[in-house]
Amino acid sequence: MSEVKVPELAESITEGTISEWLKSVGDQVEKGENIVELETDKVNVEVISEVAGVLTEIKAEEGDTVEVGSVIAVVSDGEAQPASNDAKPEKQEEPSKEDAGKPEATEATETKEESASSNERIQATPSARRLAREKGIDLSKVKTQAGDVIRPEDVESAAKPQPQAKPAEKSQPAQAKSNDNPSKPVVREKLSRRRQTIAKKLLEVSNNTAMLTTFNEVDMTNVMELRKRKKEKFQEDHNGTRLGFMSFFTKAAVAALKKYPDVNAEIDGTDLVLKQFYDIGIAVSTEEGLVVPIVKDCDKKNFAEIEQVIVDLAVKAKDKKLGLDDMMGGSFTITNGGVFGSLMSTPIINGTQAAILGMHSIVTRPIAIDKDRMENRPMMYIALSYDHRIIDGKQAVGFLKTIKDLIENPEDLLLES
């Protein structure tokens, strides 16, 4: 017998929520096979079985919060016993007159027992089985919407009353309940663990930092022309990797962090921790909220490597495949609200970091070239939110001005790299 425990997740993560059981009681499991998915503050983690055997006990239901080290299941030695349908029923004798009068309740009881036995053989999640028991639904009559495993939404669908033929006689209208058609309808939903964590962390940052935001604007003309000239050759030389704007801003951020090291720092008690590495968090939007995977060692990566890592992390984020290692250790963050059409914003600092760079939409606007000339130029507002306890206004403005100068003169940025 082997106990399945919640594994060590990360230094700052002490608990998780059971998201989904991938195996049911009685299922055969192999050593190293995923049996349950945990939702943590940062990512979803699949827990494996350390031994081969049969899942004989589940100690925590889906939706339960479990702490690191707690036992959530038991796997016993042996193999799952397949349901046998080969045995032929014994020939039964004709019922006697005395037996013929037995009540039909016996048959109903046997039918329920057969249904329960049949339900045990059907592939369904524990929460789906529990819901089926509560609603008195026979799992053998439930149709799955996707895959072969019955899930709670399939049971809910089966529990809905089917439309019936209109009765021949008009029945008396039922008395309306006071809440049948509320004038102010609402839907109450429990926040996901991820959304609860986002809310908690943002509030902590707001309460524990002296956050200010400074702004500037960038003329994107030169970088857009450079990208237009080089993008096809770049894609050919780097196995299809596309040249985007994020690599330019990431490289500019690294150069600015080297020039203004306090922006790459954090406060730990009464100490200022100056980070001498450049692991840049790139904010990615998912259905469950914003996540910030880390592009590590950006000072040592070229443009193509940065672009490819960003694409890989974005795909993993949308597929819910990010690992804890993808999310840990960032020193500075870049967020791009421009992909959603944002013209200007004040981004919130990520965790214990000292600052965050906000990019926005590129908009063509008339710009004064000199006192006699105006031109339409592609312009982007950029913002730096920073912790004023660490960074002075002069440093923040200088940092953002460095970003602006490097983006407007991308040849200088290439030399910096």
* Positions marked catalytic: 388, 392
Contacting residues for 34 by C-beta, under 8 A, at least 6 apart: 22, 46, 47, 48
Cα–Cα distance for residue pair 267/112, rounded to 1 Å? 64
Give the amino acid at 202: L
Question: 8 in the Ramachandran plot: left (φ > 0), alpha (ψ -120 to 50) or beta?
Answer: beta
Sign (positive or negative) of CA dihedral 215, 220, 223, 227: positive
CA angle 289-291-296, nearest 5°? 170
How would you classify residue 232: left for phi > 0, otherwise alpha for psi between -120 and 50, otherwise beta? alpha
| Six-digit token string for 394 | 């002069």
* 87 Cβ neighbours under 8 A, 6+ residues apart: none
